[in-house]
Amino acid sequence: MKIIETNSYEELSRIAADLVGAQVILKPDCVLGLATGSTPIGLYDNLIARCKDGTLDFSAVRSVNLDEYCGLDGSNDQSYRYFMDTHLFNHVNIDKENTHVPSGLAADLAAEGEQYDAMIRELGGIDIQVLGIGLDGHIGFNEPDDHFTGPTHEVELDPSTIEANARFFASIDDVPRSAITMGMASIMQARKILLLASGANKKEIMDKALFGPITPQVPASLLQIHPDVTVICCYK
C-alpha cells in the first residue's frame, strides 16, 4: 500500500488526476471504477480540465460506478447517476453508453446485482477503482457488518450514513434508506485501487482502516490485503 499525505485538497485532487489520467493514457479503452461523494469532485474537475486542454481523451473509456440509492431515477438530482453526469460525464468526451451506474429502481435488485457484476466481467474487469470512505469505514455503501459482503447487492444504510448524507437532501427524511452497491468482492477484484480521504474528520477512521485489524466492522480495512492500493489523504 502506498500512502501519500498532501497539504491541501487541491494537491490531493491533482495527484489523483495524475494517476487516473495515466491509466487513461496507458490504456485508452480502460475501465474506470468511479465513486461519488464530495471527495472525488476535485479529481473530476482536474480530469475535465485535462480533457478540455487535449491532454486526456475519454472517447474509448468505459466506466462503472460503485453504487446508487434505491428509489431514485437518474433525473433525480440526488441520484448518483445525476451526480456523475453533472460532475464528470457531461463535460468530457466519454460516450454515455459506456458509463454504467447500478440501477436502484430495478424490481429485482438481486438480479440487478448479478447482471452488474457480469457486465463488469464482460468489460474485462476494472483497471482502477476510485474510492472515498464513509465516517464509519464504509466503501461504496458496504456498511460495517459481521461479515464482508461479496457481489453487488442491496444494503440498508446505517443511521450514521443517512445522517452524514442528509446534507445533500432537503431533509433527513428524504434520504433513501437503502442502496445498491458493488460488494467488497467486486471492489477487491479491481486491478488497482485509489482511496481518497479529505478532512480532519476522516483521520480517525482512516487510521483504523489502514493500520487497524482487518475486520468487517471497518469495511475499508480489507484494502490492506489488496496488492495495489494507493491512498491519497489530506487531514487539514
Instruction: Choose between 14 and 27: whose C-beta lies nearer to ligand GLP.
Output: 14
CB of 213 to ligand GLP, least distance (A): 21
Which residues sit at the interface with ligand GLP, rule CB under 6 A? 35-39, 66-67, 132-134, 140-141, 161, 165
Edge-first strand listing for the sheet containing 67-69: 67-69, 178-181, 153-156
Closest Cα partner for 206 from 36, 20, 39?
39
117 labelled catalytic: no
Cβ 104 to ligand GLP, closest distance in Å?
Answer: 12
Residue number with CB closer to ligand GLP (24 or 220): 220
Q: 93 vs 201, which CB is nearer to ligand GLP?
A: 201
Catalytic residue among 68, 127, 143, 154, which?
143
Q: Is 169 exposed, middle or buried (0-12, 13-18, 19+ CB in 10 A)?
A: middle
Is residue 127 within 8 Å of residue 170, measured between CB atoms? no
Local structure of 204: helix, strand or coil: helix
Q: Is 136 a catalytic residue?
A: yes
C-alpha cell at 112: 440487478
Q: Nearer Cβ to ligand GLP, position 58 or 141?
A: 141
Our answer to whether residue 112 is catalytic in this structure is no
Catalytic residue among 5, 57, 136, 158: 136
Report the nearest approach of ligand GLP to the CB of residue 138 (Å): 6
58 Cα distance to chain centroid: 18
Minimum CB separation from ligand GLP for residue 40, in Å? 7
Alpha-carbon gap, residue 107 to 60, rounded angstroms? 31
Task: Clarify whether 67 is annotated catalytic.
Answer: yes
Catalytic residue among 127, 138, 153, 154: 138
Q: Which residues contact 174 (CB under 8 A, 6 or more apart)?
A: 78
Q: What's the rounded Cα separation, in Å, for the pair 224 and 188?
A: 10
Cβ closer to ligand GLP: 60 or 216?
216
In angstroms, the first-to-last Cα distance of the chain is 22
CB of 198 to ligand GLP, least distance (A): 7
- List, by residue number, the catalytic residues: 67, 136, 138, 143
